[in-house]
């Protein structure tokens, strides 16, 4: 049984339909990438999975349980969490407080404040700084650390490369295998196709709310990805 | 009456205003809700104390043991059943709490008539320490000020040293993302309202010992609370205390100039602060 099963998920913003029956599945310990141009519905997909966008119960199953449309705290308590687009750290909390609040549900697992500081050593020395005084890359590390602190079985990352220098992006992506190795399945949503391919073993390409292409990352034909991405 | 005396009275009164303001500031900070019914809920607390005192035959301060939890529970229920549904934009919470204010005033009028009432605390109301022939400081105002400082200090600790406080601050920063931390906003908002009204219940009992009240006394208290919050600067609890003290001082000094002047003097000082330092004395929240 797959860890996460998305079945014909539809989503609308008022009259605008963002997703037209998207299906995907993620196995435990897998790294899955979702790529697509702006407005393809990638963020909406992730939001629906964590309960931040409405869905019918049967559209999303986690560990066999229908979780579609549950409130986010309930879904996070079951072991799914998200690194939101744009990081969205709590500005009035320190770095350490941001991390600790991620762990306040008290789910058991490999991740602790200690382990986060081992994964991102530069955060340890900045632990009592205000989160907004950090550089963009460091803020992204806090956002990832905050999500990991809940010891999720499934971690969703929404555009973690957004607005960061390529060297910083590479640095952050290099840590993802460590996360997967701890048994956490990861879904990365990316516009950066090369980064997405390198970081995943399975890939979905969305276009205008539909899955146009899917397959094992290493077997996918570059030309086919290009066609699905740009719709040419 | 000496000048020093007036200053002391003003400062001590300011503690009470700071308590009204701390309650307002707390819920605005956590959920961006401007509670127009705040003053009326203070009056509800005063009536609650009045009837608790009658029923149990206790003094006003003992009645707090019943009044504070009761008003906190009312706050929690009010938030979960009504105010949570009004949040999100600026206007709906204003309209809903404005309506609530009118409803509370009229229900109080039907139940308790327009009679002025007062909570009697006994001989302590008259007790004072005489430092010099000119300077006498009332025991009750001192107690009221100390309680105000302790409550504001307690709120400060709660906000910056506890898990609940951290959840309040995170929800204030970004309610949508706070939910991803397992924080149930509806519950956190209701706890903030409960806490706000618990603080207000204490203030309500003190003010009702100090002066008479009736069903329509709320809006005036609301104005004092607003003025103290805005002068102190939004989001800063100690700033709120400073704002309350400034308002108390202005009213006391105004009363010295002319008996009819205290409230006007308070408003004038408020407008002056707004003119010179619109962000308040110790601002923390950027709007």
Mean pLDDT of B135-152: 93
Work out the minimum CA distance from B195 to partner chain A, whole angstroms: 21
CB contact under 8 A, B163 and A104: yes
Interhelix angle B262-276/B237-257, nearest 10 degrees: 130
Supply the CATH classification number for the domain A4-87+154-230: 3.40.50.300
In which band, very low, low, confident or very high, does the pLDDT at A227 lie, cut at 50, 70 and 90?
Answer: confident
Please tell me the predicted confidence (pLDDT) of residue B279: 86
Chain B closest-CA separation from residue A150 CA (Å): 8
Is the minimum CB–CB distance between B287 and chain A shorter than 8 Å? no
pLDDT of residue B177: 96
- pLDDT tens digits, one per residue of B111-124: 999 999 999 998 88
- A179 by Cβ neighbours in 10 Å (0-12 / 13-18 / 19+) ranks as buried
Residue B168, number of CB atoms within 10 A of its CB: 25
Mean pLDDT for A204-230 is: 90
Residue contact B181–A84, C-beta within 8 A = no
Residue listed under structure tokens 């869905």: A55
B164 touches chain A (CB under 8 A): no
State the average pLDDT for chain A.
Answer: 94
Note whether A88 contacts B: Cβ–Cβ < 8 A: yes
Residues in Cβ contact with B75 at an 8 Å cutoff, skipping those fewer than 6 apart:
B41, B190, B193, B194, B195, B196, B197, B198
What band does B285 get if pLDDT is binned at 50, 70 and 90? Answer: low
Residue A81 to residues A1, A25, B136, Cα–Cα distance (Å): 20, 16, 62
In chain B, residues with a C-beta closer than 8 Å to the C-beta of A146 are: 181
Reference B46, options B145, B147, B116, B132; nearest CA is B116
The confidence score (pLDDT) of residue B2 equals 76
Express each pLDDT in B5-26 by its tens digit: 889 999 999 999 999 999 999 9
Q: Nearest C-alpha of chain A: how many angstroms from B184?
A: 6
Is the Cβ of A101 closer than 8 Å to some Cβ of chain B? Answer: yes
Write down the pTM of the prediction.
0.91
Cα–Cα distances in angstroms (integers) from residue B72 to residues A186, B3, B48, B131, B208, in the given order: 43, 40, 12, 39, 18
Q: In which band, very low, low, confident or very high, does the pLDDT at B287 lie, cut at 50, 70 and 90? A: very low
- The answer to whether the CB atoms of B181 and A105 lie below 8 A apart is yes
Q: Rounded to a whole number, what is the distance in Å from the CA of A149 to chain B's nearest CA?
A: 9
Q: Which of A73, A91, A100, A149 to mutate to test the interface with B (most CBs of B within 10 A)?
A: A73
Contacts of B177 in chain A (CB under 8 A): 84, 88, 90
Q: Which residues pair with A17 in a beta bridge?
A: A12
B182/A97 touch (CB, cutoff 8 Å), yes or no: no
Centre a 10 Å sphere on the Cβ of residue B1 and count the other Cβ atoms it contains. Answer: 12
By residue count, chain B amounts to: 287
Q: Contacts of residue A92 in chain B, CB cutoff 8 Å?
A: 169, 172-173
Which of B185, B47, B164, B28 has its CA nearest to residue B117?
B47
- Confirm or reject contact between A104 and chain B (CB < 8 A): yes
Distance of CA A71 to the CA centre of its chain: 18
* pLDDT surpasses 90 at B135: no
Tell me: the pLDDT tens digits for A154-198?
A: 999 999 998 899 999 999 999 999 999 999 999 999 888 888 999
Gap from A228 CA to chain B (nearest CA, Å): 32
Looking at residue B126, its pLDDT comes to 87
A90 touches chain B (CB under 8 A): yes
**Best residue of B160, B176, B177, B236 to probe chain A, by most A CBs closer than 10 Å:** B177
Percent of chain A past pLDDT 90, that is, above it, reads 85
Give B237 or B63, the one with higher predicted confidence: B63
Taking only the tens place, the pLDDT of each residue in A96-132 is 999 999 999 989 999 999 999 999 999 999 999 999 9
In this complex, which of A81, A82, A88 lies closest to B174 when CB atoms are compared? A88
Task: Provide the mean pLDDT of chain B.
Answer: 93
Distance from CA of B56 to the nearest CA of A (A): 42
Q: Which of A201, A155, A218, A157 is nearest to A30 (CA)?
A: A201
Query: CB distance from B167 to chain A under 8 Å?
Result: yes
Rounded CA-CA distance A103/B30 in Å is 21
Q: Could you tell me the residue ranges of all domains in chain B? A: 26-218
pLDDT at B143: 94
For residue B84, which residues of chain A lie inside 8 Å, CB to CB?
none
- Do residues A111 and A151 touch, judged by C-beta distance below 8 A? yes
Q: Please give the residue of chain A at the shortest CA–CA distance from B161.
A: A97
Nearest Cα residue in chain B from A96: B166
Contacts of B169 in chain A (CB under 8 A): 90, 92-93
Report the percent of chain A where pLDDT is more than 70. Answer: 100
Torsion of CA B188, B190, B194, B199, to 10 degrees: 60
- Closest partner residue to B170 (CB to CB) among A84, A101, A105 is A101
In this complex, do A93 and B180 lie within 8 Å of one another by their Cβ atoms?
Answer: no
Contact B177 A100 (CB under 8 A): no
Q: What is the pLDDT of residue A91?
A: 94
Q: How far is CA A211 from the centre of its chain?
A: 18
Minimum CA–CA partner of A53 in chain B: B176
CB nearest to B182's CB, from A76, A92, A100: A76
Mean pLDDT of A37-54: 94
The per-residue pLDDT for B286 is 44
> What CA–CA distance (Å, rounded) separates A33 from A211?
12
pLDDT at A148 over 70: yes
- Give the domain ranges of chain A: 4-87+154-230
**pLDDT, tens digit (0-9, with 9 covering 90-100), for B181-234:** 999 999 999 999 999 999 999 999 999 999 999 999 999 999 999 999 999 988
Q: ipTM, 2 decimals?
A: 0.92
Rounded to 5 degrees, φ, ψ at B266 are -60, -45
CB pairs under 8 A between A and B: 58
């Amino acid at each position: 049984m797959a860890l996460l099963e998305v079945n014909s998920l539809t989503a609308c913003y008022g009259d605008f339909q963002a997703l037209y029956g998207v299906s995907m599945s993620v196995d435990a310990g897998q790294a899955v990438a979702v790529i697509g141009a702006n407005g393809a519905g990638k963020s909406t997909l992730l939001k629906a999975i964590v309960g931040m966008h409405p869905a019918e119960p049967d559209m999303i199953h986690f560990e066999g349980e229908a979780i579609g449309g549950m409130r986010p705290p309930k879904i996070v308590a079951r072991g799914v969490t998200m690194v939101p687009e744009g990081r969205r750290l709590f500005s009035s909390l320190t770095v350490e407080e941001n991390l600790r609040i991620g762990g306040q549900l008290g789910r058991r697992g490999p991740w602790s404040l200690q382990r986060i500081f081992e994964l991102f050593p530069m955060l340890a020395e900045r632990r009592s700084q205000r989160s907004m005084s950090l550089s963009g890359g460091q803020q992204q590390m806090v956002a990832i650390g905050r999500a990991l602190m809940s010891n999720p079985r499934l971690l969703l990352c929404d555009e973690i490369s957004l607005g960061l220098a390529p060297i910083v992006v590479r640095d952050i992506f290099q840590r993802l295998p460590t996360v997967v190795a701890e048994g956490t399945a990861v879904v990365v949503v990316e516009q950066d196709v090369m980064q997405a391919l390198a970081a995943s073993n399975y890939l979905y390409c969305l276009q205008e709310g539909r899955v146009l292409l899917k397959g094992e990352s290493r077997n996918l034909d570059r030309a086919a990805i290009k066609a699905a991405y740009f719709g040419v | 009456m000496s000048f020093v005396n007036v200053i002391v009275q003003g400062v001590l009164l300011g503690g009470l205003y700071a308590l009204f303001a701390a309650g307002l500031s707390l819920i605005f900070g956590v959920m961006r809700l401007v509670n127009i019914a705040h003053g009326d809920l203070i009056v509800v607390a005063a009536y609650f104390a009045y009837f608790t005192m009658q029923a149990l035959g206790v003094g006003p301060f003992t009645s707090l043991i019943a009044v504070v939890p009761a008003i906190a529970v009312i706050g929690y229920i009010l938030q979960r059943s009504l105010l949570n549904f009004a949040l999100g934009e600026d206007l709906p919470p204003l309209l809903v709490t404005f309506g609530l204010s009118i409803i509370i005033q009229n229900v109080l009028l039907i139940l308790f008539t327009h009679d002025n009432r007062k909570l009697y605390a006994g001989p302590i109301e008259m007790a004072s320490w005489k430092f010099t022939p000119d300077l006498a400081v009332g025991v009750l105002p001192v107690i009221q000020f100390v309680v105000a400082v302790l409550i504001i200090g307690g709120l400060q600790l709660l906000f910056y040293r506890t898990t609940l406080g951290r959840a309040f601050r995170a929800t204030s920063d970004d309610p949508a993302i706070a939910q991803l931390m397992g924080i149930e906003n509806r519950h956190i908002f209701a706890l903030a309202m409960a806490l706000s009204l618990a603080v207000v219940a204490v203030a309500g009992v003190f003010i009702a010992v100090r002066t008479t009240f009736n069903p329509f006394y709320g809006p005036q208290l609301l104005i004092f609370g607003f003025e103290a919050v805005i002068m102190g600067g939004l989001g800063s609890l100690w700033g709120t205390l400073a704002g309350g003290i400034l308002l108390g001082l202005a009213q006391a000094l105004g009363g010295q100039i002319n008996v009819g002047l205290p409230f006007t003097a308070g408003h004038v000082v408020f407008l002056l602060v707004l003119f010179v330092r619109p962000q308040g004395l110790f601002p923390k929240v950027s709007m």
